[in-house]
Structure 1
Amino acid sequence: MSAYDTLADPQATSAGKPGAAPASAQVIRRDGRAAPFNPGKISIALTKAFLAVEGQSAASSHRIHEIVAGLTEQIVAGLTRHTGADRIFHIEDVQDQVELALMRGGHHKVARAYVLYREDRARERAAVAAVSTPSAPALQVKGRDGVLRPLDAAALARAVAEACEGLSDVTPEPVLAETRRNLYDGISEDELAQAPILAARTLIEQEPNYSQVSARLLLAELRREALVFVEGTPATSQAEMAARYPEYFGAYIARGIEHQLLNPELAQFDLARLGAALKPERDLQFQYLGFQTLYDRYLQQTQGIRFEMPQAFFMRVAMGLALREIDREARAIEFYDLISSFDFMCSTPTLFNSGTRHSQLSSCFLTSVPDDLDGIFGAIRDNALLAKYSGGIGNAWTRVRGLGAHIRGTNGQSQGIVPFLKVANDTAIAVNQGGKRKGAVCAYLETWHIDVEEFLDLRKNTGDDRRRTHDMNTANWVPDLFMQRVEADGEWTLFSPDEVPDLHELYGIPFREAYERYEAKARAGEIKVHKTVRALELWRRMLTMLFETGHPWMTFKDPCNLRSPQRHAGVVHSSNLCTEITLNTSDSEVAVCNLGSINLGQHVTEKGLDRDRLARTIRTAMRMLDNVIDVNFYTIPQARRSNLRHRPVGMGLMGYQDALHALRLPLASDEAVRFADESMELISYHAIEASVELAAERGAYASFPGSLWSQGILPHDSVDFVAEARGGLDLDRSAALDWTGLRERVKTIGMRNSNVMAIAPTATISNIVGATQSIEPTFRNLYVKANMSGDFTVVNPSLVRDLKALELWDPVMVSDLKYYDGSLGAIDRIPAELKSLYATAFEVDVSWLVEAAARRQKWIDQAQSLNLYLANPNGRKLDALYRLAWRRGLKTTYYLRTQSATHVEKSTLKTSDGKLNAVKVAPAAAPAPQPAAVVAAPPPPAPSAVVNAAPKPVPATEVGNFCSLDDPTCEACQ
């Protein structure tokens, strides 16, 4: 008998039971019969495997016995932990755990031999089955009426075959085999529908195209659900559905209005014309993660029944945005063609609510909290109303007086901002956007506020819980003067804003002059509440808290204001929930921004950017974004007033890493930095041009006179203001396009929108279109993403294509990618070129991200959500990183993502519902940055290609202290 046959055959002789399992546990053999689960068989199989690979010597046998005993205990524990004490294990489940234990234990030779053995045995079984397939017992399916009916195996096979049509490297057989393995007599209709979806899902790690197979099988289930509800009869195939789409579309609109879900105005469109414009084939382009997310959270449903097909969804969104157009049908079709092609996608609030009875389509809201009780609780109430319909919120709290400040009305002392922040935190939790996604808010505070030290501690897990906000995001609003004091190792004075009321309204040189006057008054005893600290010590504490808790983020007040096109209309007091919006606020105006993102990966070829396609996309997208402002449902009057007066929009991008892969440009390269510059310049040019064209058609926005636009000062021109205020700026200022003509058109015609660009995180819309998120680097090449729809295997398809071309994509490669957490650095057989091209976020020197962001920032009139990754953080690295970001003129940064070695459980897909890494949340496990290591500014680190080219194997990695890619609640912006 082979070294592995003992495990493959549950009836093999047992000897010894080093593990323990419940007496009720059973193993299902491949013929479908059950046998008692005996851990001793695992031990025997492991022992034979080790002996076959390492030899039969007595010394090695003794060592092997100890290793096998430990591995067997891990395997049994893993099986029972994941599946429960009374689970009936399939033999494949057991073998999955054996494979995992060998990899996790570092027994690579044995693991590889075991993987190859399993593949050989699978081929042998398939060959035998092809010659003679034993008759299987007939299975019954329980209908929704409770009646048992025979399983229609032919229909199941047809559905799986249709899902595989046109896709390379996928076949129906493994999907059907895995499906049959999970069927049982009396299975319900719903379970039967899910079985092939889940079966195809288990194959995604081996072949990414099975992601589309899973999506198409889910689409088939949606067809049945939607058509039965809307028309009374299901469609049997995608081909049949394609013919029925136009007729279904009109009935769907009627049903949606009947159930008071859709805007009755939609019935006034020429529905026959719109139905004929639908493109059913685009239903087939989804990846599983994207389609499952769409199915769970975006499609219209009533009482749990989804009745909105994907193309109807996109047309409904387009119709909602075209309501005020003259030729509504033509514009709706134009908008539909753009978003259904995945070239551009609207933000989540627009997708949720466009065309519905409450069309709150805006993404971001910014408010400034006043310094009185009515104002404070009014601002908290506004937060609740804005969050109700999917808005992400940023609050500026700097005006609220600090701890110990005098209150004239009661002749008492203020408790500071922290108690009010606690109330705001709890409000965000209470208003969870109808269960669609968690309410989210970010509090901003300027660095000179007397409560800043308590503000830094808000996210700590220790201390008085009444002075903690565990769910609220926080951000430092940092003046340039503070950074200059840090660089000079000077003193810094903290004030209560009631005694220095104009500091919050000033920036640049006027701020510095006023601040220095107040410092002199404090020294003279003319200011009661103040405190002097060493700027460098406060900076160290800011960095320490950022590392330990992920908050507060670092955002820079002066470049946000100095470069704001709306300097004449007010002050930018904060950014938003995700740090990409920089709009002015006041007591009478709540800033609103309307977002959408270009899928940059769709606009590149191997030769470079497709400039004509990019220009067409931006022209249509800008019109859609501008329309949001007019059809929007405003929950508070201050938001309506601000949005109609200034009309800001935020054109962003996603798929940046996809574009680099298509161009064969490593992220850590000068060429990638130049591409960031080139691509953002083109987006900026065409976005501004499109807004000018809209102004020529519809008129300039109301507050255009006096703006930087009206003076012919474009975003890249405004960099001069930062350089002047700081006495210089270390930033590449070059341009490739001829801006002279456009600059003159802006001055003479005007702009339709006060702001036109902002790069948001795109957390969910990038999933829908199957693009990499925003401007993010590759997180891992193989990992599991979790969100409110479940756990999803994510494999880098570009990498898989390249590995296939080199004949390197095989089960062992999958195992190696799992073991090394999606990193290529330690896999010897992968060429260095691919290791550089597919280096993951924590392998790339973070300074490359800053350099690329700086090149983009010069073209953007708002900001960008820039996550920063540090594999082995310490005080010196953090200090250098954030000083570099400031020196390069960045307006904001977002999450600091850190990584530390710690033990977490790894498992294969089949035994944990897809979780390759079940991450333990243990921030304390990471070494805290050493404040003593933060010294006067070291020179900015020179970018290097890959700093962790060959990481040492570790059991797993913890990625903590940030809004994780795997965090179900990290979807607040888009």
Structure 2
Amino acid sequence: MQTNTPSYGSSTVNPRTELSAKEDLPATAPGQLRVIKRNGAVVNYDESKIVVAITKAYLAEEGGTAAASARVRETVAKQAAQISTIFKRRMPSGGSIHIEEIQDQVELALMRTGEHKVARAYVLYRAEHTRLREQQRSQEQPSESTIQVTYPDGTQAPLDTQRLQTVIDEACAGLEGVSAGAIYQETLKNLYPGVKLEDVRTSAVMTARTMVEQDPNYTYVTARLLLDTLRSEALTFLGVTDSATQSEMNYRYPSVLKPYIEKGVELGLLSPHLLEYDLEVLGEALKAERDTQFTYLGLQTLYDRYFIHSNGVRFELPQIFYMRVAMGLASNEEDREARAIEFYNLISSFDYMVSTPQLFNSGTLRPQLSSCFLTTVPDDLHGIYSAIKDNAMLSKWAGGLGNDWTPVRALGAHIQGTNGQSQGIVPFLKVVNDTAVAVNQGGKRKGAVCAYLETWHLDIEEFLELRKNTGDDRRRTHDMNTANWIPDLFMKRVFEDGEWTLFSPNNVPDLHDLHGLAFERAYEEYERRAAAGEIEVYKTVRAKDLWRKMLSMLFETGHPWVTFKDSCNVRSPQQHVGTIHSSNLCTEITLNTNAEEIAVCNLGSVNLVNHVTDTGLDQVKLEKTIKTAVRMLDNVIDINYYSVPQAKNSNLKHRPVGMGVMGFQDALYIQRIPYGSDHAVKFADESMEVISYHAIQASTDLAEERGTYESYKGSLWDQGILPIDSLKMLQETRGEKYLEADFTTTQDWDALRQRIASTGMRNSNVLAIAPTATIANITGVSQSIEPTYQNLYVKSNLSGEFTVVNPYLIRDLKAMNLWDPVMVNDLKYYDGSVQQIDRIPQELKDLYATAFEVEPRWLVDAAARRQKWIDQAQSLNLYIAGANGKKLDITYRMAWLRGLKTTYYLRSLAATSTEKSTVSGSKLNAVSSTPEPAAVPQACSIDDPDCEACQ
């Protein structure tokens, strides 16, 4: 039954609209900026109003005649345009700006152009009007009991202040350093007689949001206030009630699950098989208190991108959302209810999180739950366009793609069928690029693909330039990713300053499927034949020159990424049934591909934060988590919707999964370990060994229960060769000179080998560390194995802008009585870095060094220690401050020497930092808005021998 009792939270409101555009605001185009006024109303951004404001400042200082001069008019127009550019650069996808920040930028613009007197007049004008507003507010502010709220039907009633206070008190419950009273009073200040119901919520959310800088716990307060809107929207749509406080959800949740499932099935959004569950049992298992563990970024991300909706109305709530996912993953279990509750408890507690496709699609009519797909493109026209079609179908259902293009013949190679010459791979890659743009995964996220090419391919030099912003645009792919697939022999030639020969694959057909010593023998024989004139289409280059061009393009464009063919193949458990020809979109998946098999991987990540204390890993809890997680991942393979038959064939035959980790940086903070230290490298080693041990053990348990995977016989597992043993195989293949590895162990691997010998393995591959960008945001922890980007910044994504503050740093600064407004300003000024703030002790500077302040060797060393335990690979971003040719050369050579299988993005820091906004004034918007770091071109090319930066 719906109640008609007036309360401030009783209407159905879209929180995305609530935070960005009011009902009376006209529809806006993508990328539109909006302005939040002081009364909470939101209007479209209008540059002309900035022109008027600046002109008034000139009038106040210089008088009418001077202010009307051509010089002033031109200056004002230029200043207003610069301010608009700053906001558009910060929020390329659009977003909301507080009016105070616009005024801050006006002050800065006047100061930068040397108009100090005009700037002073403007500052005085602002101060006087602030005083007048406060005076007027104190005189005219209605009492709490007289504030009238306007409901959606136009009726008015007094504001239910008691309920407002309850919601705010619940939002602050259990959190240190936050003030319910301050939020309540500030919320009331922004209200006025006849205020719309949704504006009351807006005021509360925006008030808490602006306080995140004061204490990181305000992000939880903001999320909990936002939950009040989400509850109203969902519960009203389901016809259960029109509002509920957080405490009331303890009895509301059990009764909501059934109408939610019924409504989802009725609308064709959920699979009818979910109705077969005992929904009363599952409803009673929902834990309402887990709603309170979200950060603002996490909850807003879930709302915007994950919750099921109908006509723009989201009718999922967080705990129902996680139960829906768990039900979908447990649908083939014998005791479905017990397993669904087990899965729900794991993901809703944030101990482990499934990947985005599972969150999107579990329990739906099209349960496409796999994250990554790897394909090999054949060397014929029908096969090439068939592969592009497969890309489109896989991308449609939220899959990231990795394409192996090495088999396709090079530019100038002979085509027997037409007696013509090949145009090479580049024209086809242009089509792949445009297909990725066109098929954008149902509007949920952008389509994404990465093309891989082996270093001996004759088109490699043009392949390296695909992402350049200059040259023939018909031979550029600005929207797709590229990666080098580098054999060990090439790296040896680089170290030895040898020559390197480029071939067209139709003349050297077996190189594609060979690796290790067999590849080296075949390659050298082809070089001999080419030198003897037996092969016509080839080219010889200096290996170091090609290597330098690889690094130069990586530095300039961020592509192609550097990945290593032989490390992947020599250590592959499945080398008895094929070859790994590429990695995936994020370089962590290493699986075989061929004409009949599109490799598929299913991902999830253990949250290290919930499995570590200040004394180290909680191994008992970790083992329990991993056992359930691997079971969930194995279930995905059978439940999954396959949009192309080759993917189903491969996945059912080999059953690979990729369990990874996230929150590595947070785990270091908890243990007081600096990222750039031997202690951190040791923790990376020991934690990954424990995770690997229990993941492999979990797969053997499943093999005992469900049987081994089809192609198990002859695998490295079958031979008793585990990841640590395959590292020794790589050393034997390369020679000790070219592998610097640590073989220390702490677990009882002999016992596990015996266990595998008796039961086998359920999965061909078990481990892979994915980037976890979005699911880490949802769970509120650091991404994957990444170091902290900045300790204070504004993060921009599809859900808007969010102030991100390092809670561990703030906790320590508070303990030392160092957290004050001056410290906040210092962190803003230094772009979130603590290194130049004198009053912070060195111990904290070491612990809270940011990504570009950690030497790249520590990233590589930690990754190498993890890699020895991982049967697949890891998404490893490399951060290099002041990048130049020498630094890149050393870092990527080190990555190969340490036995890494792949690397991901190169993040290089520009010589000049991003433009700073004011360090005072508007609390939220005073932080510099900084996008995710990217490869930043410098003033020179790294292959310029005359550049001092390259020496």
- TM-score where L is the length of structure 1: 0.84
State the Cα distance separating 1:292 from its structure 2 match: 0.3
Query: Hey, what's the Cα distance between the residues in 1 that align with 2:228 and 2:543?
Result: 61
Specify the SS of the correspondent of 1:393: strand
Structure 1 counterpart of 2:180: 172
Query: Hey, what's the Cα distance between the residues in 2 that align with 1:198 and 1:638?
Result: 50
Query: Hey, what's the Cα distance between the residues in 2 that align with 1:45 and 1:923?
Result: 46
Query: Hey, what's the Cα distance between the residues in 1 that align with 2:413 and 2:927?
Result: 51
Note if contact 1:27-1:37 (Cα within 8 Å) is conserved in structure 2: no
Q: Does residue 306 of the first structure (1) align with residue 314 of the second (2)?
A: yes
State the Cα distance separating 1:547 from its structure 2 match: 0.4
Q: How does 1:528-543 map to 2 (within 5 A)?
A: 528-543=536-551
Query: Hey, what's the Cα distance between the residues in 1 that align with 2:53 and 2:800?
Result: 32
Change (3 A) 1:584 1:77: closer
Note if contact 1:854-1:888 (Cα within 8 Å) is conserved in structure 2: yes
Which consecutive unaligned segments of at least 5 residues does structure 2 have?
1-34, 41-48, 62-74, 89-95
Structure 2 counterpart of 1:456: 464
Note if contact 2:209-2:924 (Cα within 8 Å) is conserved in structure 1: no
Query: Hey, what's the Cα distance between the residues in 1 that align with 2:805 and 2:78?
Result: 27
Query: Hey, what's the Cα distance between the residues in 2 that align with 1:550 and 1:683?
Result: 32
State the Cα distance separating 1:235 from its structure 2 match: 2.7
Change (3 A) 1:460 1:271: same
Structure 1 counterpart of 2:754: 744
Letter paired with 1:843: E
Note if contact 1:422-1:466 (Cα within 8 Å) is conserved in structure 2: yes
Query: Hey, what's the Cα distance between the residues in 1 that align with 2:814 and 2:692?
Result: 38
Letter paired with 1:625: L
Query: Hey, what's the Cα distance between the residues in 1 that align with 2:728 and 2:97?
Result: 67
Q: Does residue 565 of the first structure (1) align with residue 573 of the second (2)?
A: yes
Note if contact 1:346-1:597 (Cα within 8 Å) is conserved in structure 2: yes
Specify the SS of the correspondent of 1:931: coil
Letter paired with 2:290: R
Q: How does 1:378-777 map to 2 (within 5 A)?
A: 378-728=386-736, 729-777=739-787
Query: Hey, what's the Cα distance between the residues in 2 that align with 1:260 and 1:777?
Result: 42
Q: Which of 340, 345, 366 is residue 374 of structure 2 equivalent to? A: 366
Structure 2 counterpart of 1:845: 855
Query: Hey, what's the Cα distance between the residues in 2 that align with 1:133 and 1:449?
Result: 74
Structure 2 counterpart of 1:11: none
Change (3 A) 1:273 1:174: same
1:806-831 CA deviation, whole Å, 9 max, x = no partner?
A: 01111111111111010000000100
1:614-642 CA deviation, whole Å, 9 max, x = no partner?
A: 00000000000000001001111110010
Letter paired with 2:778: I
Change (3 A) 1:692 1:918: closer
Change (3 A) 1:732 1:72: farther
Change (3 A) 1:402 1:218: same
Query: Hey, what's the Cα distance between the residues in 2 that align with 1:72 and 1:844?
Result: 43
1:854-881 CA deviation, whole Å, 9 max, x = no partner?
A: 0000000000000000110110110000
Structure 2 counterpart of 1:943: none
State the Cα distance separating 1:42 from its structure 2 match: 8.1
Q: How does 1:93-242 map to 2 (within 5 A)?
A: 93=101, 96-97=104-105, 141-147=149-155, 151-180=159-188, 182-183=190-191, 187-242=195-250
Specify the SS of the correspondent of 1:381: helix
Specify the SS of the correspondent of 1:901: coil
Note if contact 1:43-1:72 (Cα within 8 Å) is conserved in structure 2: no
State the Cα distance separating 1:175 from its structure 2 match: 2.8
Q: Does residue 931 of the first structure (1) align with residue 950 of the second (2)?
A: no
Letter paired with 2:800: G
Query: Hey, what's the Cα distance between the residues in 1 that align with 2:608 and 2:445?
Result: 26
Structure 2 counterpart of 1:854: 864
Structure 1 counterpart of 2:72: none
Structure 2 counterpart of 1:964: none
Change (3 A) 1:911 1:613: closer
State the Cα distance separating 1:748 from its structure 2 match: 2.0
State the Cα distance separating 1:421 from its structure 2 match: 0.4
RMSD of aligned C-alpha atoms? 3.7
Query: Hey, what's the Cα distance between the residues in 1 that align with 2:513 and 2:946?
Result: 31
Specify the SS of the correspondent of 2:723: coil
Change (3 A) 1:891 1:630: same
Note if contact 2:144-2:161 (Cα within 8 Å) is conserved in structure 1: no
Q: Which of 800, 806, 813 is residue 816 of structure 2 equivalent to? A: 806
Structure 2 counterpart of 1:949: none
Q: How does 1:187-336 map to 2 (within 5 A)?
A: 187-336=195-344
1:686-740 CA deviation, whole Å, 9 max, x = no partner?
A: 0000000000000010100000000000011001221111111211111111211
Change (3 A) 1:833 1:518: same
1:287-334 CA deviation, whole Å, 9 max, x = no partner?
A: 000000001111111111111111111111111011110100000000
Which consecutive unaligned segments of at least 5 residues does structure 1 have?
1-24, 47-70, 940-974
Change (3 A) 1:529 1:934: farther
Specify the SS of the correspondent of 1:869: strand
Specify the SS of the correspondent of 2:725: coil
Change (3 A) 1:704 1:423: same
Specify the SS of the correspondent of 1:554: strand
Specify the SS of the correspondent of 1:460: coil
State the Cα distance separating 1:525 from its structure 2 match: 1.3
Note if contact 1:79-1:97 (Cα within 8 Å) is conserved in structure 2: yes
Change (3 A) 1:587 1:569: same
State the Cα distance separating 1:142 from its structure 2 match: 4.4
1:626-673 CA deviation, whole Å, 9 max, x = no partner?
A: 000010011111100100010000010000000000000001111110
Query: Hey, what's the Cα distance between the residues in 2 that align with 1:913 and 1:344?
Result: 33
Query: Hey, what's the Cα distance between the residues in 2 that align with 1:645 and 1:582?
Result: 16
Q: Does residue 828 of the first structure (1) align with residue 843 of the second (2)?
A: no
Query: Hey, what's the Cα distance between the residues in 2 that align with 1:636 and 1:395?
Result: 15
Note if contact 1:657-1:778 (Cα within 8 Å) is conserved in structure 2: yes
State the Cα distance separating 1:192 from its structure 2 match: 3.7
Query: Hey, what's the Cα distance between the residues in 2 that align with 1:275 and 1:29?
Result: 40
Change (3 A) 1:42 1:676: farther
Letter paired with 1:857: Q
Specify the SS of the correspondent of 1:405: strand
Q: Which moved more, 1:94-103 or 1:600-609?
A: 94-103
Note if contact 1:183-1:192 (Cα within 8 Å) is conserved in structure 2: yes
Note if contact 1:560-1:582 (Cα within 8 Å) is conserved in structure 2: yes
Change (3 A) 1:415 1:142: farther
Change (3 A) 1:511 1:437: same
Change (3 A) 1:631 1:934: farther
Change (3 A) 1:889 1:79: closer
State the Cα distance separating 1:466 from its structure 2 match: 0.6
Note if contact 1:544-1:928 (Cα within 8 Å) is conserved in structure 2: no
1:424-458 CA deviation, whole Å, 9 max, x = no partner?
A: 11111111111100000000000000000010000
Note if contact 1:574-1:582 (Cα within 8 Å) is conserved in structure 2: yes
Note if contact 2:261-2:270 (Cα within 8 Å) is conserved in structure 1: yes
Specify the SS of the correspondent of 1:927: coil
Note if contact 1:315-1:332 (Cα within 8 Å) is conserved in structure 2: yes
Change (3 A) 1:301 1:98: same
Q: Which of 899, 908, 912 is residue 898 of structure 1 equivalent to? A: 908
Query: Hey, what's the Cα distance between the residues in 2 that align with 1:302 and 1:766?
Result: 27
Change (3 A) 1:420 1:879: same
Specify the SS of the correspondent of 2:206: helix
- The percentage of aligned residue pairs carrying the same residue is 62
- TM-score where L is the length of structure 2: 0.86
Letter paired with 1:275: G
State the Cα distance separating 1:171 from its structure 2 match: 1.2
1:566-588 CA deviation, whole Å, 9 max, x = no partner?
A: 01010000000000000001100
1:70-108 CA deviation, whole Å, 9 max, x = no partner?
A: x99999878777899xxx9999557755897899999xx
State the Cα distance separating 1:197 from its structure 2 match: 1.5
